[in-house]
Amino acid sequence: MSAITISHLTKRYGPVLAVDDLSFDVHPGKVTGFLGPNGSGKTTTLRILLGLADATSGSARIGGLTYRHLHDPVRQVGAALDSNTFHPGRAAAEHLKIIATATGLPHRRAAEVLDLVGLASVADRRVGGFSLGMRQRLSLAGALLGDPAVLVLDEPLNGLDPEGIRWIRGLLRSLAAEGRTVLVSSHLLSEVAQTVDDVVVLSKGHAIAETTLSELVERSSVIRARTTDATRLVDVLLAAGIQVRLVDGGTVEARGTDAAVIGLAAAGAGLPIFELSRHDQDLETLFFDLVHDTQEVAA
């Protein structure tokens, strides 16, 4: 069973369709990136998953149950939705002890997770004096308080410096290596590219890609070919079922294939090839093309 199952999830706020028939699964032992530009429905989806909002239709389940039906949810799911869920006048350790008190966790867990996220020295300092990066770490500490098997993190890299990004990247990968389920949302693919195994890409409330990161990068690379008659080469490749576009009179770009296939197709049509090269899109361009392109990448 998938650890997290989103099934035909829809959320409407009046005339605005925030989430549109969204379905995807998240599996244990991996870090899954939940990606999409701002306003694509990521946070809304996570809020529904965590019982903070109701779906208009569809379901969002963890281990087969909705969040509100989980027994001892903090011990099963750790969530960090944003870094502004603290009373500024309350000390960091006290914030965690309140959660521990409400959930029956031992208070020593507060000190343990603060140490884990590097905030042990400021445990008794009021959160109002924390930087954004410190609040992000405290939010993560709260998510780890119950030592949960499932982690749901919304934009956890926001506000972190390069050292902090490297640290959290290592932490998330180690948690996944332990067999936990880690779902990380972000609006920047490049930010999470070194962290995630699988990706779910959202645009305008629905999934446009659900695959592994490596497959996504592989499928997005283009083979560029220069020939004497690019239009004829386009026809030949389209007939072979290859996704191709005409760049100019002498150049074509093909996706989802390799150079050998292009070369053989050109040779079979008697077309000389002056250039045959592979270009991997940079991740930002890849992401931009995905969310702004009408074509979807299937798993």
Partner 1 sequence: MTGTARLARAEVRKLFTTRAVPVSIAIAAVLAVASVLIDAVVAGKSGAHALGSTAETYRMLKLGGLSAVVMLIIGILAAGGEFRHRTIVPALLATPDRTPLFVVKVAVVAVLGAVFSAVIFGLGLGTVAATLAAHGIHNLPAQTGRLYLGSVIAGACFGMIGVALGALTRNTVGAIVAAIAWAIFVEQIILQAVAPSLERWLPVGASLGLTNPPSASVLPPALAGLVLTCYAMVLLVAASVTTIRRDVG
Which residues sit at the interface with partner 1, rule CB under 8 A?
47, 50-54, 67-68, 70, 73-74, 77, 79, 81-82, 84-91, 94-95, 97-99, 101-104, 142
Nearer to partner 1, 28 or 51 (CB): 51
Query: What is Dmax (Cα atoms) for the chain?
Result: 76
Residue 144 to residue 118: CA distance in whole angstroms: 13
| Closest CB to partner 1 among residues 95, 169 | 95
> Which of these, 237, 225, 48, lies nearest to 154 by C-alpha position?
48
Minimum CB–partner distance for residue 256 and partner 1 (Å): 39
Per the DSSP assignment, residues forming a β-bridge with 252 are 225, 246
Using the minimum distance from each CB to partner 1, give the nearer residue, 50 or 290.
Answer: 50
Q: Which residue, 44 or 227, is less far from partner 1 as judged by CB? A: 44
- Please, what is the minimum distance in Å from the beta carbon of residue 62 to partner 1? 11
Alpha helices (H) along 178-243? 189-192, 213-220, 230-239
Nearer Cβ to partner 1 (150/233): 150
* Cα gap 116→137, rounded to integer Å: 9
Question: Residue 293 Cβ, how far from partner 1 at the closest point, in Å?
Answer: 31
Looking at residue 21, the DSSP 8-state letter turns out to be E
Min CB(51)–partner 1 separation in Å: 4
Distance CA 4, CA 62 (A): 5
Tokens for 92? 């960091």
Q: Which is nearer to partner 1, 16 or 102 (CB)?
A: 102
- CA 138 – CA 27 distance, rounded (Å): 26
Rounded-to-integer distance, Cα 133 and Cα 161, Å = 7
CB of 235 to partner 1, least distance (A): 53
Smallest distance, partner 1 to C-beta of residue 202, A? 18
Closest separation between CB of residue 268 and partner 1, Å?
A: 58
| Closer residue to partner 1, CB minimum distance, 41 or 244 | 41
DSSP assignment of 129-140, as one string? G--HHHHHHHHH
Contacts of 136 (CB under 8 A, 6+ apart): 80, 83, 156, 157, 158, 159, 160, 164
